Structure 1
Amino acid sequence: MSARMQASPEGGTRRARLEAEARDIAREVSCRRSNLYATREFQDDAEARLADLLANSPKDPEVALLAAQLTEGRILERYRREQAALMPAVPATPAAIAAHRALGEARFEMAQSRLRMDLNGADSSEWNLWQDRHLEAAQRASLAAAELSAIERAGSDSGWRNLPPDQQRELRDLVADNGTFDTPIAPRNYRDVAEETQDIFEGHQPVREAINDTGFAPFGPTEPRQRTPSDQDARDTTSTTAAAQRTARDGIGGQKQPPPPDRARRLTQQKRRREARSRGVRALMRDIKANQRYLKQLDRAVDSADIKIASPLNQNGSMFDLTMLSFLLETIDKSR
């Protein structure tokens, strides 16, 4: 590929096509690396290597590389688990198996695309590309979910096949209205994503500042929305009624109403929790710089649950939470 590119004149159609192919290959390689970083074996090995470097050579460039890889893997694992939790049980109707599989594959692609969006928040063109891929996967997922629903309801694949195209689309839109196929509409700060993921690992429900997603429904908020039974019944309302409800929720002209007191309280608690984590990380880094027994202190911190990650991904505990990894990345970037 590289040789062919060099042999092609710059500005030519062939050169542009080869460059586009090279970018696609690079994206595929990046996705496969993320899959590797999310494995338990890689996480364990990378943590051990990072601990050794911090104890003996904290300025080694590999520290930043390992911190970035560990962070990337944990965020991807979080997104995968969120999507897996939204999957229905394997259908008893054999004709619905293919639709169930298609739904799972599309949700897997949604998780991967969301990670790529997070990683490319500063590159608008790349972020938009992965947003398009996320949206396309979300649309395939909602279509597969609608097909699965129709087949299971009828007990055969005719339940979907016999629906007119307009009814198939209506059912797909109805399924998408539950919010679990939402596509992000704006880039996010990667550090915020890491902090939010750490909150989830510790068993907290993150709170996000409201964004104006008027005109983007149902592709607005980035976190999956789970409806209550009463909400499920309300999905049969007309689009006019739904629009009126959104107007009432958002206020005139799409402006959000002030958050309720409970939301403000939770945001304050979240801020304090994250600040406390950050102070703990800074204290550990001071210990490193003072050449103290860092690994021994980390072991004590894990034992006393000062560093606590309540997640199947980290069920054996972890020496490095995402706040620590983000701090390492920022510190090394500033020192360059």
Structure 2
Amino acid sequence: MPAPKVRTKWRPTLALIVYAVLLAVMALPIVIVIWFRAVEVSSSRMAPAEIGALAVVFMLTLGVAYVLTRTITGPIDALIARTEEIARGGKGAIRPLESYGTREIAVLSQSFLDLAGKLVDRTEYISSFAAHVSHELKSPLTAIRGSAELLRDDDAERPMTKAQRLHFLDNIVADAVRLDALLQRLRELAQAETLVAEGKSSVMDILPSLRGDFPALDISGRGDTEISVALTQEAAGIVFANLAENALQHGATLLELSVSASDRTAVILVRDDGSGISEVNRHRIFQPFFSTRREQGGTGMGLGIVRAMLSSHGGTIRPLQTTGDGAEFEITVPVQVSKG
């Protein structure tokens, strides 16, 4: 959808308005002097005091004009020029102005720089993400195409054995399953990064579905599991299902969700008894498509989806250091305050 355009019509510049107002202010004493001289016709020449007063008014008007130009029109023009520079030059052009003039313009400029930085980061993220998606989809597609071509070009004189055919068919099915998992993760990621309506859920609400979806895990809840947090039921299901699947892929048999809450924030500790997270990989686990368990079906998108989903609901997630086996994540999410 293209950005809406401002309707083109003549509009006065801020500088024109400022100087017009100042000239009007300056004209007032001149009009007053002319008025009194028209009433008092005894003298045709202006008195020195009158000339001095007009000179003072003129100098004061120029001073006010300089101050307004320095503090308002100049910084605004500079901000407009900076927007055009950022549009042409990207992230390198995002830098503070030399002068802001007023507090309001400084706040406006900071908001603009923050927004520009987020937009540029988002553009770079989308570019990198598209490259990763292309790579991840290309591998199974290439394997499916190769297996299909081998089956199609099977030599009638030296046909494949049944075991060979089943091997290629199994490869096609496995790669199709992997593609389906990738597409499902992409749908979840798109949903996670979309603003959602307000909703609420609790750990107690999602425990039954988790246990049904992951029967190989012994899933338990502790603490304030009935506290309502600012996650929709669907969002909570996606968050904890991805964490459960991640634990299962790392050999876990236990998953524990411990909840503690204050007036505004709930902290949920998610622990498992799997192989844990190595120090080498700790800083990479939220990177898109990073996975150490591809042979177990890992797509490398689960934790990224969890972080994006929590972020869209005002929450956070971070891995904690563990003394023994397993991984532990700390989730913070706002408590859903009842209205009424």
Which TM class, normalised by the smaller chain length?
under 0.3
The alignment's TM-score, normalised by the length of structure 1, stands at 0.27
Q: Which one scores higher on RCO, CA 8 angstroms, separation ≥ 6?
A: 1
As a proportion of its length, which structure holds more strand? 2
As a proportion of its length, which structure holds more helix? 1
Larger radius of gyration: 2
